[in-house]
Amino acid sequence: MKLVINIPCYNEEKTLSAVLAEIPKKIPGIKTIEVQIVDDGSTDRTSEIAASYGCKIISHKKNLGLGRAFKSGVEAALESGADIFVNTDADNQYPSSYIPDLIAPVMTSSVDIVIGNRVPWKVEHFSPLKKTLQWFGNLIVRNLIGTDIPDTVSGFRAYSRESLLRLNVTTKFSYVLDTIVQAVKMDLTVSSVPIRTNPPTRKSRLFKNIFQHMWKSGTSLVRLLIIYRPFQFFGVLAVASFVPALAIAIRFLVFFFLGIGKGNVQSLLFAVVLVIISGLFLVSAILAFLVGMNRKLNEEILYYEKKRTFLPSSQLKNRKI
């Protein structure tokens, strides 16, 4: 069984050595451990340090973002025949000593994706505001996408080869929400293991502050909801437009039959506008649903194309669907 450990990097010369030094050299049940870094347009000694540790290096000519770096890492791992894929950060946030615990459920084929649960509301170096926002954000995400994973934005994850073939990264910002929403919709099994985190070594490069992170994550989640749950998303907007329209229309009719409806025509016009808006949202839900059906067919085609591209012919013949 082959394990590929993937580390997206952007100017990580200060911390990369600490991350690479802690990666386990041997894990029971794993025949080959390959470490690869995705140099996402670094201008420092990141690639040089990785090469000194014997890492495989995938280079981007310019900085493309974490989502693209993750996608490049996945493709490289599949090409090299990875059975299990672990993604970790180059800032040494996640202790590499947890990798055996992270991959254990995947090795038994009982789970497709395992996420390292930082228990963010208990992390000592998180501020009270960040702990509260992390807890609240995770609660919203879990309820919206229908999962019980406690730390939905943790980047320390293990993936089975089957899950890599199924998932398709569609964002540049961050793959964490993208892949977990897809996993739930594709009926992949997802679990978590508790981990601790190391003290921060630098500020995040994905966002300037927690509020920017909330905005980017929120807009990403809305986009994913439109793609994967269009009826629920547009349905809520349609109802939110129709209910006040109905209330305004009833109010107008009551005043009209009581003989005091003069001068309230503008209310009726406003109600008509809201009904039209509600209808547009409903049409959008139907169109998005039809587009979603076509997307599912394309995902299935892409899945089989990936299998033909990345799996040896001997495995294709015996592969169970």
pLDDT 10s digits, 272-288? 999 999 999 999 989 98
pTM score, whole prediction: 0.80
pLDDT of residue 314: 47
Contact 179, 167 (CB under 8 A): yes
Residues 104 and 28: their CA atoms lie apart, in Å, by 10
Strands 56-60 vs 2-9: parallel, antiparallel or unpaired? unpaired
Angle at 185 between CA 182 and CA 188, to 5 degrees: 80
**Which of the two residues, 208 and 245, has the higher pLDDT score?**
245
Over the stretch 132-143, which tens digit does the pLDDT of each residue have? 666 776 777 777
Q: Domains of the chain: which residue ranges?
A: 2-227, 230-318
pLDDT at 262: 63
**What pLDDT is stored for residue 309 in this prediction?**
87
Between β-strands 2-9 and 32-40, what pairing exists: parallel, antiparallel or unpaired?
parallel
Give mean pLDDT, residues 100-115.
93
| CATH 3.50.50.60 for domain 2-227 | no
Q: Which residues contact 59 (CB under 8 A, 6 or more apart)?
A: 38, 39, 47
- Report the pLDDT value the prediction gives residue 210, as an integer from 0 to 100: 64
Question: How deeply is 321 buried, as exposed, middle or buried, from its count of CB atoms within 10 A (0-12, 13-18, 19+)?
Answer: exposed
- 174 near 66, Cβ under 8 Å? yes
Strand order in the sheet with 84-87: 56-60, 32-40, 2-9, 84-87, 157-160, 113-117, 190-194
Q: 6 with 73: CB under 8 angstroms?
A: yes
pLDDT at 321: 40
Considering only residues 260 and 163, tell me which one the structure prediction assigns the higher pLDDT.
163
Percent of the chain with pLDDT over 90: 49
Q: What is the mean pLDDT of the chain?
A: 85
